[in-house]
Amino acid sequence: MTATTSTAPVLLNTAAELSAYAPEGRRAVVMTMGALHEGHASLIRAARAHAGPAGQVVVTVFVNPLQFGEAADLDRYPRTLDADLAVAGAAGADVVFAPSVDEVYPGGEPQVRISAGPMGERLEGASRPGHFDGMLTVVAKLLHLTRPDTAFFGQKDAQQLALIRRMARDLNFPVEIAGVETVREPDGLALSSRNRFLDTHERRTALALSRALFAARDRLAAQTALHARAQATGATEDRAAGLNRLGEARL
């Protein structure tokens, strides 16, 4: 069965419902924990363009308890399903798959999980032990449940994207993992569902990172351009010297 693009996506809550809603064409999936914003919308639009009119775009909304170190963080994570349906539909989603915890983990907390390995112990993983194991476990589960041809993830979470790609390659998942460029707020802060929790001081602190990255990018670009000009100038001078030597040899 193929869904048509509309501003009112079909809401499904079980794996059986999703299985019965199989598309005629390609299926693209965007995995989220809800609280959708323009960054998620850009992923959904990319998925829509990839799937085409005969394909199907599925947006998953699932707050994964395995990714939270403390119960308080899990409890305060925003849950805005009605608003999420509107954002997903406007961006081109056909289906919103919002399973319960029991639907995703029917046997309770899983005893067997995906390990992120050494890649998951560095950078963000160093301060969030176990986070990437939980993330990869739920991504693997949702890939099995949704069975997409392509899954779209934001480049904002670069380490997460790298780990998902490595998992798909190492475990032979028959899916293409596509990265989509980061969407930023006017002041340069990457869009995130958690930005609402930042106070003024924390927001300024967060902006220092993006500003430093942009400054490094611009400096590298300037140095690369300068190096290219220097090489071009040197090549021109070498060619002129070579022609002069050739002319002298003919005299």
Q: How far apart are CA 236 and CA 242, in angstroms?
A: 10
* 127 CB burial (10 A radius; 0-12, 13-18, 19+): exposed
40 catalytic per annotation = yes
CA distances (Å), origin 137, targets 70, 140, 185, 231, 235: 18, 5, 30, 49, 54
SS3 35: coil
Q: How far apart are CA 68 and CA 53, in angstroms?
A: 37
SS3 97: strand
Q: CB neighbours (10 Å) of residue 177?
A: 20
Enter the tokens of residue 145: 């449940």
Q: With contact defined as beta carbons under 8 Å apart, do 52 and 19 qualify?
A: no
Annotated catalytic residue, options 37, 40, 131, 144: 40
Catalytic residues: 40
